[in-house]
Amino acid sequence: MFHRVRLASVLLALCSCLTIADLASAADNTRYVSISGKNTNPCTLSQPCRTLQRGINITPAGGELRILDSGDYGPNGNIRKPMKITGNGNTIFVANGIAINKTDIVVTLRGLTLDGQGTAATGVNIIAANTVRIEQRDP
């Protein structure tokens, strides 16, 4: 009986460590942009980037870019890797919209309001992709 309890404790501890490692890994793949950020920053929560394109470029493939506030994030956003952009309901001003152009990628755009300020003919231009998900805000 003692061995079973001990084994269960070890397995529970191992699962807890894996869960913490998974969370840390997910956090490592998340980048941030803010209208008060700088493109020389590493795009972390405490030091966000300034433009959408810089955030896209520095976000690892399969990672997530989070928009921290509404504002003008530069002229465009060109996506050529699998990723998620989460806007949390913020409005992003981009003169040329967001272009997705790589055949084998999955892109999710969630909780974004795009505003082309009267100059953008297309908010999201899907040139090539495996899957593009455009979703409303998180519940």
pTM for this prediction: 0.78
Q: What is the pLDDT of residues 76-102, one digit of tens each?
A: 899 999 999 999 999 998 888 899 999
Distance in angstroms (rounded) separating the CA atoms of residues 8 and 13: 9
Looking at 1-139, which runs of residues are DSSP E strands?
30-33, 64-67, 71-72, 77-79, 83-86, 91-93, 98-101, 106-110, 113-115, 124-128, 131-135
Q: Are 101 and 79 in contact (CB under 8 A)?
A: yes
The domains of the chain are located at 30-135
> pLDDT of 104-137, one tens digit each?
999 999 999 888 777 777 889 999 999 999 998 6
Report the 10 Å Cβ neighbour count for 59.
24
pLDDT single digits (tens) 14-72 = 444 444 444 444 558 999 999 999 999 999 999 999 999 999 999 999 999 999 999 99
Q: How far apart are CA 113 and CA 120, in angstroms?
A: 13
Q: Are 89 and 66 in contact (CB under 8 A)?
A: no
Q: Amino acid identity, residue 114?
A: L
